[in-house]
C-alpha cells in the first residue's frame, strides 16, 4: 500500500470536492463546454489515484446537482452520455484497484439504461476494500434532507425518537463519515447546496484552480493546509 508524503501531519479520512470550472476552462480555450467536462473526467481519474496514494479512505465528488437539470438540454444530454462512457470505460480498472463505487442522489431520475449501469457498478464493487468513491449525481443537500425525512416518516419513527443519528442513518451518505475536508475549485466561494448536513464542521478550501487543471500536487497542498488547521468542533 502506498505511503503518504512525510509532510502530511494529518490526513483527512474523507475528502469531498466540488468539481467546478469545466465550462470556463473550455471557454478560455475556445472549446465547447462539454469538452471541459470530458477533460474534467480525466482529472477525476488522477485524483482518485492520488487520494488512494495519500491514504484518504473516502472521496466524494459533486458531479451533477439537482439544479443542473436547468442547463441547456444539449449539455445535460452530453453529460449523461459522458457519465455512461466513464462508467463503461473505468469500471474494470477501478474494480481491480479495489475502489468501492457508491452513488449519492436520486438515481431514479437518470435515464433507465444509465441508472442500471450505475447500479451494476455499485454492485460489482460493493465488497471492495479500497477507497470509497461517492459520486454525487442528481444530488442536492436540501433534497437529501427531504429524502431523509420522507424515509423517516415512511418508517413510522415517532418524532420524540428522532435524533441526529436517525437523520444520519437515512442520508444518502449513510455508512460514510462526514467529510473532514471539502475543496471547491475555480475560485467560487459558495457551498452550492453540497453536503449541508455532513459539512457542518468540515474544513473548507477554495482554490482558484479550474477543475480540469487540478492536479495531484494541488491535492497535496490542500491536505498540507488541512493539517495546519485546528479543528475544535465548537469546543475551546
How would you list the strands of the sheet with 181-184, edge to edge? Answer: 100-104, 132-139, 58-65, 14-18, 181-184, 203-206
Strand 181-184, strand 203-206: pairing = parallel
User: Scanning the structure block, which residue is given the C-alpha cell 475502489?
Assistant: 99
Contact by Cβ (8 Å): 204, 182:
yes
CB contact set of 169 (below 8 Å; sequence gap of 6+): none
Residue 154: predicted pLDDT: 98
User: Scanning the structure block, which residue is given the C-alpha cell 465528488?
Assistant: 61
Is 138 a residue of the active site?
no
| Cβ neighbours, 10 Å, residue 122 | 15
CATH no., domain 14-228: 3.40.1180.10
Q: What is the rounded CA–CA span in Å between residue 206 and residue 154?
A: 38
What letters, b where the CB count within 10 A reaches 16 and e where it falls short, cover 64-81? bbbebeeeeeeeeebbbe
| Cβ neighbours, 10 Å, residue 175 | 11
Select from 169, 172, 117, 111 the least CA-distant residue to 141: 172
Q: Domain coordinates of the chain in residue numbers?
A: 14-228
Is 68 a residue of the active site?
yes
Determine which one of 20, 52, 178, 180 is catalytic. Answer: 20
Determine which one of 68, 128, 168, 193 is catalytic. Answer: 68
| Cβ neighbours, 10 Å, residue 53 | 17
pTM for the whole structure: 0.94
Q: What is the rounded CA–CA span in Å between residue 6 and residue 3?
A: 9
User: Scanning the structure block, which residue is given the C-alpha cell 476552462?
Assistant: 25
* 22-55 tens-digit pLDDT: 999 999 999 999 999 999 999 999 999 999 999 9
Kindly give the confidence (pLDDT) of every residue in the chain, 236 residues in length, as a single tens digit, with 9 standing for 90 and above.
Answer: 455 666 888 999 999 999 999 999 999 999 999 999 999 999 999 999 999 999 999 999 999 999 999 999 999 999 999 999 999 999 999 999 999 999 999 999 999 999 999 999 999 999 999 999 999 999 999 999 999 999 999 999 999 999 999 999 999 999 999 999 999 999 999 999 999 999 999 999 999 999 999 999 999 999 999 999 987 777 76
Q: What is the rounded CA–CA span in Å between residue 148 and residue 141?
A: 11
DSSP string, 122-142: HHHHTT--S-EEEEEEEE-HH
Select from 89, 228, 207, 150 the least CA-distant residue to 81: 89
Amino acid at each position: 500500500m502506498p505511503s503518504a508524503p512525510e509532510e502530511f501531519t494529518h490526513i483527512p479520512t474523507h475528502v469531498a470536492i466540488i468539481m467546478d470550472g469545466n465550462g470556463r476552462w473550455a471557454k478560455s480555450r475556445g472549446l465547447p463546454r462539454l469538452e471541459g467536462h470530458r477533460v474534467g473526467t480525466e482529472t477525476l481519474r488522477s485524483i482518485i489515484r492520488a487520494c488512494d496514494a495519500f491514504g484518504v479512505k473516502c472521496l466524494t465528488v459533486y458531479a451533477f446537482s439537482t439544479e443542473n437539470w436547468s442547463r441547456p438540454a444539449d449539455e445535460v444530454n452530453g453529460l449523461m452520455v459522458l457519465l455512461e462512457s466513464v462508467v463503461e470505460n473505468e469500471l474494470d480498472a477501478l474494480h481491480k484497484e479495489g475502489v468501492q463505487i457508491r452513488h449519492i442522489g436520486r438515481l431514479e431520475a437518470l435515464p433507465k439504461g444509465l441508472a442500471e449501469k450505475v447500479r451494476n457498478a455499485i454492485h460489482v464493487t460493493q465488497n471492495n476494500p479500497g477507497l470509497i468513491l461517492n459520486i454525487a449525481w442528481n444530488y442536492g443537500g436540501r433534497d437529501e434532507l427531504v429524502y431523509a425525512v420522507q424515509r423517516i416518516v415512511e418508517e413510522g419513527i415517532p418524532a420524540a425518537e428522532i435524533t441526529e443519528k436517525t437523520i444520519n442513518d437515512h442520508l444518502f451518505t449513510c455508512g460514510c463519515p462526514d467529510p473532514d475536508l471539502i475543496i471547491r475549485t475555480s475560485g467560487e466561494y459558495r457551498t452550492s447546496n453540497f453536503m449541508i448536513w455532513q459539512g457542518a464542521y468540515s474544513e473548507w478550501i477554495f482554490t482558484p484552480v479550474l477543475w480540469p487543471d487540478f492536479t495531484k500536487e494541488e491535492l497535496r497542498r490542500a491536505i498540507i493546509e488541512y493539517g495546519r488547521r485546528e479543528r475544535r468542533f465548537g469546543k475551546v
